[in-house]
Structure 1
Amino acid sequence: MTSSSMARRVRRAGFTLIELLVVIAIIAVLIALLLPAVQSAREAARRAQCVNNLKQIGLALMNYESANGVFPPGGVADESKAGIWGGVGANNVLSWRALILPQMEATAVYNAINFSQPMSSNAPDPRAQWTAYMTVNSTWLCPSDDNPGGISPGFRAMGGLNGNFPNGTSPNNPITNAPETRVPVSNYAGSFGDNYAIGGLTPPGGPWETPINTVLPPGVPRSGHAGFWGTNFNENLSARGPGVLRGYFSYRIAGIAPVTIASVTDGTSNTIMAGETLPAQVADNNFWNHNGCTFGTTIPINWQTRQAPAIQFGSPVWTSRFSYASKGAKSNHPGGANFLFGDGSVKFLKNTINPIAYNALGSRNGGEVVSADAL
């Protein structure tokens, strides 16, 4: 073998620059093709976990109803006894989430709660509630939540762009003896149905709601009924009655009859019990108290309310997360959100759902007929 032939063989042993660039380009194309599939698989797994979380919550609610004959109230807040906002007198303002903890295999946390005191610094001994206050089980958290500005999974800072607010002031941290600055949150809220989410709070109501005090012709469906957030106030919020809770959970209990399975005359498989929410888009989302535990179906699914600062009252800016328009269901799942129904099933509803059908699914005894084509 001559020296020239040996040199040619040596030169052919490696890639040329062009060949190397071609290989890199092929690898880049393969990665670009595979990445969406990987992301889709991950989201499918996250959505499956979210569905499982809601099913566990649904089972706990059913077990609570079986033991007590009624579903839990949205919040232990009766303003006929005392002011409700900070937790006063007979009001500890705890939400339905706290009441079903024994059915969620969280009896130890439940036993750490002093139900004669509010979960805030208004309690006679605000340190006593701190241990329970700082415990949020992963079942209450959707893995698709990107947790912007979160301190750790299930917690936000108090205030700030992505922060949240408790009801009143948080219980005292026994280490610092100062109100806790972290706020426990949840990705799942109970439905008050198609009661007004805005209505008389900022008349004439939200852009998706039937203006308050409107008399519609027979057969024309309403979007919004007297009793904002499931209370029994009238449309103008000036007096009690004739508002009734249309869904499962009212954030106040004065004048509201407990919800039973028998009262769900539209059918449990056709009535939303709970659904997803995003703490970063709801300023008052908090795990323990009544003001952060519900949503309504008059607001479109995944309506964006992430902006700050606060809403300008009297000049509705329905994109602000401080506004009443934040009281809608929302998730980070592409195209919609997961919902728990009264029969324990979990369904994914799209952003494009017919608003009339969505409101009908929110009411438990409205007598509406929901077509599968409208979902």
Structure 2
Amino acid sequence: MKHRGFTLIELLVVIAIIAVLIALLLPAVQSAREAARRAQCTNNLKQVGLALHNYESSNGAFPPGGVSDESKGTNWGGSVGGNNLASWRALVIPQMEGGNVYNAINFNLPLNATVSAGGQWTALMTVNATWVCPSDDNFQGQGPGIRSSSGAWGNYPNGTSPINPFTGAAETRVMVSNYSGSFGDNYAIGALSSGQNPWETYPYPPTLGAGQARIGFPGFWGTAWNDAVSTQSGGQLRGMFSYRIMGVGAVTIASIIDGTSNTIMVGEVLPAQAADSNFWNNNGATFGTTIPINWQTLRAPLDGTTPFGTTDWQNRFSYASKGAKSRHPGGANFTFGDGSVRFLKSSIALPVYCALGSRAGGEVISSDSY
């Protein structure tokens, strides 16, 4: 009696064919998943843009990058002259269906200070999922929108965590976001580390060669100030959000002379690649367009020190970490002043990117240049 069945060779061939099919199918599945995540990210940024325009409609101007006026005291302390250090993100929470969270916070107090009220603490440890890009999976195992608060890979401004009123201990977590406001083509580095960075033109004003485009304008991070409280750079905000108030003035629709469809308002960032990306505080709420899109700042000092001003432009403690970047292949999503969301490629020419960052620079940008 003859027995029918597969030979070993036939079985191996079938397994090989299945493996090939899986290998062909897996990239397509991953691509489809990324497309869905990118679509969700786009929707998130549209909601942020709508919230900003609703805020502008109610107040006659867009929110400041942060409630911090260094003419009244230190930017970090937030204890002088009403400097609560609240970021623009905190100010538009009511427009993001977060009225209960907003009402639980005492904005008369610095948001990075020790909090005694349990309700306020709970609010400050809350971030709506709309503020998090689903493609970003680097949150140290703590969940989307949450990172460690201290150490070389921590994300709390100035390295000091507030005291958790429920535990009495320093808080180990910090809320973060994947979306920051643009201070445009103001200097992100040059005002502090003159001539040491690879992109911004120097000196100030620069002497440009034939055909060379200027990259960077005073002042530092869109303010009239340099790093020292007493030092004014004479700069003016060229983008939408300055992280300090002094000498900036309100940004209105009318001040966007280049056109809302030609001006970047909000863009993607990666909290893991910046030492300061606290959701609530001003210092982690802005980025600049003088730094190439998706410039990687994946390094941190092994000894846990915080060498701000380092010339290692791939260090998360350097000023190069204040650039737009995402986990989407090839570029990042941006909300423009008209509320539209567009994907800009990492290969975009830096002069074009900077022109999109300025709201009143007078640049002429070709429609096919990005």
Report whether the alignment pairs 1:339 with 2:334.
yes
CA contact (8 A) 2:308 2:319 kept: no
Instruction: Please list the CA deviations of residues 15-43 of structure 1 after superposition, one character each: whole Å capped at 9, or x if unmatched.
Output: 11111101100100100110010000000
TM-superposed deviation, 1:132? 1.4
Match in the other structure for 1:3:
none
Cα distance 1:170–1:107, how it changes in 2: closer, same or farther (>3 A)? farther
CA contact (8 A) 1:202 1:314 kept: yes
Q: After superposition, where does 1:57-206 map in structure 2 within 5 Å?
A: 57-89=48-80, 90-122=82-114, 125=116, 129-166=120-157, 169-206=160-197
- The match for 2:242 among 237, 245, 250 is 250
SS in 2 for 1:274: strand
TM-superposed deviation, 1:316? 1.0
Match in the other structure for 1:4:
none
Match in the other structure for 2:359:
364
- Distance between the aligned counterparts of 2:257 and 2:11, measured in 1? 69
Cα distance 1:174–1:312, how it changes in 2: closer, same or farther (>3 A)? closer
- Distance between the aligned counterparts of 1:275 and 1:362, measured in 2? 10
CA contact (8 A) 2:300 2:315 kept: yes
TM-superposed deviation, 1:220? 4.9
TM-superposed deviation, 1:216? 3.4
RMSD over aligned CA atoms reads 2.1
State the TM-score, normalizing by the size of structure 1: 0.92
TM-superposed deviation, 1:82? 2.0
- Distance between the aligned counterparts of 1:340 and 1:250, measured in 2? 17
TM-superposed deviation, 1:147? 1.9
State the TM-score, normalizing by the size of structure 2: 0.93
Match in the other structure for 2:18:
27
Instruction: Please list the CA deviations of residues 189-240 of structure 1 after superposition, one character each: whole Å capped at 9, or x if unmatched.
Output: 0000000000121112521110132233798531000111000137999842
- Distance between the aligned counterparts of 2:53 and 2:210, measured in 1? 36
Cα distance 1:276–1:225, how it changes in 2: closer, same or farther (>3 A)? same
CA contact (8 A) 1:119 1:171 kept: no
Identity fraction in percent:
67
**Higher deviation after alignment, 252-261 or 210-219:** 210-219
Question: Match of 1:285, as an amino acid?
Answer: S
- Distance between the aligned counterparts of 2:98 and 2:158, measured in 1? 22
CA contact (8 A) 1:119 1:126 kept: no
Aligned length: 365
Match in the other structure for 2:270:
278
Ranges in structure 1 where 5+ consecutive residues have no aligned partner: 1-6
TM-superposed deviation, 1:241? 4.6
Cα distance 1:46–1:318, how it changes in 2: closer, same or farther (>3 A)? same
After TM superposition, the runs of 4+ consecutive aligned structure 1 residues lying more than 2 A away are 120-123, 125-129, 159-163, 166-172, 215-221, 233-242, 310-315
Cα distance 1:304–1:215, how it changes in 2: closer, same or farther (>3 A)? same
**Higher deviation after alignment, 130-139 or 78-87:** 78-87
